[in-house]
Amino acid sequence: QTVVTQQPSFSVSPGGTITLTCGLSSGSVSTSFYPSWYQQTPGQSPRTLIYNTNTRSSGVPDRFSGSILGSKAALTITGAQADDEADYYCVLYLGSGIWVFGGGTKLTVL
Amino acid sequence: EVQLVESGGGLVQPGGSLRLSCAASGFTVSNSYMSWVRQAPGKGLEWVSVIYSGGSTYYADSVKGRFIISRDNSKNTVNLQMNSLRVEDTAVYFCARLNSYAFSGWGQGTLVTVSS
């Protein structure tokens, strides 16, 4: 069974830069998996940040960017702000109508 | 404006059934890929099912054979029939529209609790 891996938690200082990653239990992530990223704060529905590896969703500030770094998909937040504190999820399309979410990264800004 | 509103959640006993509905506005579900994603209390997001515009349906292994996704074009809704429910199916269920293989629009979610 394919597992999508994310760092469980991360901390960043206000104004800092952080890169969250999204990998596969076996194999490398490529653009063919159409990686996308979501932000979720407690009690809220997820918010779509990035789709198709590096395309920002409407209204998402450009300090959020997506890429492939080595064998993983990556979400970089540049100039972190207090309201970036949230859970971040990636999801990969495995083909044949199947999507798998990563376990999520809890980001703390302090 | 794209809007998704889920309904139908509630408390059900193990082994029971429940039918969720997702009412869409601002677009036509029959022309879209529509999906259900769930989130157990305090846990992460889990993809559940998808229905393609052509009608093909797919399921996560955890619900295959128990859940059925469908749509009602006349009402512009997507439904999730959940049978043989288990305690581990307890979650908030979100409806989402897919675009470019990503979940581009989300509803507010509906809570399903499976408990005796």
A27-67, pLDDT tens digit by residue? 999 999 999 999 999 999 999 999 999 999 999 999 999 99
> Average pLDDT in the B4-12 region?
98
Q: Name which of B1, B100, B112 is nearest B46 in CA terms.
A: B112
Beta strand spans in chain B (E): 3-7, 10-12, 18-25, 33-39, 45-51, 57-59, 67-72, 77-82, 91-99, 102-106, 110-114
Residue of B nearest to A4 (CA): B46
Yes or no, beta carbons of A91 and B102 under 8 Å apart: yes
Residue B94 has pLDDT above 90, yes or no: yes
- For position A77, what pLDDT does the model report? 98
Contact partners, residue A52, CB within 8 Å, separation at least 6: A31, A34, A36, B100, B101, B102
Query: What mean pLDDT value characterizes chain A?
Result: 97
Yes or no, beta carbons of A91 and B100 under 8 Å apart: no
Calpha distance B67→A48 (Å, rounded): 26
Yes or no, beta carbons of A45 and B44 under 8 Å apart: no
Residue A97 has pLDDT above 90, yes or no: yes
Residue of A nearest to B60 (CA): A98
- Structure confidence at residue B27 as a pLDDT band (50, 70, 90): very high
- For position A1, what pLDDT does the model report? 85
Q: What percent of chain A has pLDDT over 70?
A: 100
Contact partners, residue B46, CB within 8 Å, separation at least 6: A101, B37, B38, B39, B40, B60, B62, B91
Residue B80 has pLDDT above 90, yes or no: yes
Residues 41-100 of B with CB under 8 A from A: 44-47, 50, 52, 56-58, 60-61, 94, 99-100
> Average pLDDT in the B84-113 region?
96
Calpha distance A87→A40 (Å, rounded): 5
Yes or no, beta carbons of A45 and B105 under 8 Å apart: no
Residues B56-77: pLDDT tens digits?
999 999 999 999 999 999 999 9
